[in-house]
Structure 1
Amino acid sequence: MVQIRNVPTELHRRLKARAALAGMTLSDYLLHEIRRMSERPSVEELRARLQGRSAATPSMSPARAVRAARDSR
């Protein structure tokens, strides 16, 4: 069970309205949103994943690639 105390009135109203628009109870709507949020990697997880990757080395310089693209027209 999860409880959130001291939710500002305006925030509660907005969330309740969104739940109603989705045809859901507030509890079901919040559970759906929490699940969706937990399935996405956090900024920290993305950063760690990117830091673990090796740097890419282009096969040609950007200037040469632009020139080749222009010349092919």
Structure 2
Amino acid sequence: MPNVLVRNVPEDVHAALRRKAEQHHQSLQQYLATELRRLAERQELSDVLDGIEKRHGGRVGLHQAVQDLAAERARV
């Protein structure tokens, strides 16, 4: 398994990470590995929007979207 080395971490950041690890009953290494995995798996907003566009296709302009929403609200 590859390793990651982070140098020059400020003391206050290191201390905060150690506290968080302790709160989760984990070593600092376990805590950071979990957080790095979570960070790596998190989708960026642009990725989510690209996925939506590919599934549904097409685009609606802002003006049309506002008109459609107003019409939908008027029906209720």
- 3-state SS of paired residue (1:55): coil
Tell me which protein shows more helix as a share of its residues: 2
Normalised by the size of structure 1, how large is the TM-score? 0.72
Q: 2:70 corresponds to which letter in structure 1?
A: A
Q: 1:3 corresponds to which letter in structure 2?
A: L
Output the aligned Cα RMSD: 2.6
In the TM superposition, residue 63 of structure 1 has moved relative to its aligned partner by: 2.4
Q: 1:22 corresponds to which letter in structure 2?
A: H
Q: Does 1:67 align with 2:36?
A: no
C-alpha distance 29-51 of structure 1, shift in aligned 2 (>3 A): same
CA distance, structure 1, for counterparts of residue 34 and residue 9 of structure 2: 18
Normalised by the size of structure 2, how large is the TM-score? 0.70
Structure 2: gaps (5+ residues)? none
Identity of aligned residues (%): 25
CA distance, structure 1, for counterparts of residue 6 and residue 68 of structure 2: 53
C-alpha distance 48-67 of structure 1, shift in aligned 2 (>3 A): closer
Aligned to 1:10: 12
Q: 2:23 corresponds to which letter in structure 1?
A: L
How many pairs does the alignment contain?
68
